[in-house]
Each structure stands twice: as structure tokens, then as C-alpha cells.
Homo-oligomer: A and B are copies of this chain.
Amino acid sequence: MLTVYGDIRSGNCLKVKWLLDKLGHDYRWVETDVMSGRTRSTEFLAMNPAGQVPAVVFDDGRALAQSNAIIGYFGEGTPYVPADPWDRARMYEWLFWEQYSHEPYIAVVRFQRALAGKPAAEIEPRLMERGRAALDRMEAALTGGDWLVGDGPTLADLALVAYTRVAHEGDFDLTPYPAIRRWIGRVEAAFGIG
């Protein structure tokens, strides 16, 4: 059976859980606290040398890491990965943008505030600015359509919703972003996120 190593508080890990649940895959979830040092253990590093969760391991020992690579692998051939090459490319554009221009701000501030307990006054202003810039860009994109790519939910929506729906835990106020707020509801409904 598939084994998933993940921290249930991590949006990156939840992306994998949500997709596997939606697609009806059986798996064993091994809760892996990112603050415990377990992802830096010799045993874990032998499985994923990047020392990060999520990571999935198959019965034959093959292992795969990077949340967006994992959902890309399991999403292939489902309606959540467009068959059209151009739409696929745009989906991957959003996935790479998420990891480079969204997660390092929205997820990192939320981690510092909600999980590490850092006071708001100690959060780097640059992280808040870039996080808001990411939300601005999403709001503009979602003002023009219900989904990030094409006319149905894709992995782009799944990946971006993971930390956007908990952005408020990092003091990002979603009130000025009505298109994002409506989209969060749509994506949660589409993927059965509770």
C-alpha cells in the first residue's frame, strides 16, 4: 500500500491527501511533525534526501517528493490535469508560481505566526508585501473566471487553495479579495475539502 509522509498542518501535505482522497486511492498516512526533526533523521533522508514532507513511498520502495510533482503524478489522466497541451502548460505555470511566489510568503508567514508562535510585530514586512502581491495577482486572475485554468477545477486550483484558505492565520486579510473568497468555496466543494 502507498505510504504518505506528511504533516497534517501543512498545506503542501494536504494537497496530496485531498487529491488521493478525491481519487479514491488507498494509502497509509504517517504523520510527520516538521518541527520534530524527524525529516532530518538518517532514516527519512535515505527515503527523501531533500528532507521535506510530503513524500510518498510505494511498496517496491520507489519514493517521490515535492507536493506539486506528487499531485502531478497522481493527477495525470484525471480531469484535474487538462489534456490540452496549452492548458497543461498554464497549469504548470501556476504550480511553479505557487512554489516560488506564493508559498514562500503566504505559507511561511502562516507557519511563523500560527505554528511557531512568532508575534506579528516580528514578521518581516517584505514577506507580508509579497504575500499581498500574490493575492493581488490571484484576485485579478479569478475576476476573469471561475477557475485558474480553463473552465473546470485543476491541480492549479488545488495547489493554490491549500495555503490561500488559511492565509488569515498569517494575518493576511482576505476581505479585499472577493473573487478569491468565492473561488475558495468552489475549490473546496470541487475537491471535497472540509
Contact check, B72 vs A89: say whether CB atoms are below 8 A apart: yes
- Residues of A within 8 A of B (CB-CB), count: 32
Contact check, A92 vs B72: say whether CB atoms are below 8 A apart: yes
Instruction: State whether the Cβ of A112 lies closer than 8 Å to any Cβ in chain B.
Output: no
Instruction: Enumerate chain B residues within 8 angstroms of A126, measured Cβ to Cβ.
Output: none
Contact check, A96 vs B66: say whether CB atoms are below 8 A apart: yes
The one of B64, B69, B86, B97 that contacts A62, using a Cβ cutoff of 8 Å: B86
List residues 78-121 of chain A with CB under 8 A from any CB of chain B.
85-86, 88-90, 92-93, 95-97, 99-101, 103-104
Instruction: State whether the Cβ of A19 lies closer than 8 Å to any Cβ in chain B.
Output: no
A selection of 22 A-B contacts at a CB cut-off of 8 Å is A49-B137, A49-B140, A62-B86, A64-B89, A64-B90, A65-B97, A66-B92, A66-B96, A66-B100, A67-B96, A68-B92, A68-B96, A69-B92, A69-B96, A73-B86, A73-B88, A73-B89, A76-B85, A96-B96, A99-B100, A100-B103, A100-B104
- CB-based closest 9 A-B pairs: A73-B89, A66-B96, A69-B93, A69-B92, A66-B93, A99-B100, A68-B96, A69-B96, A49-B137
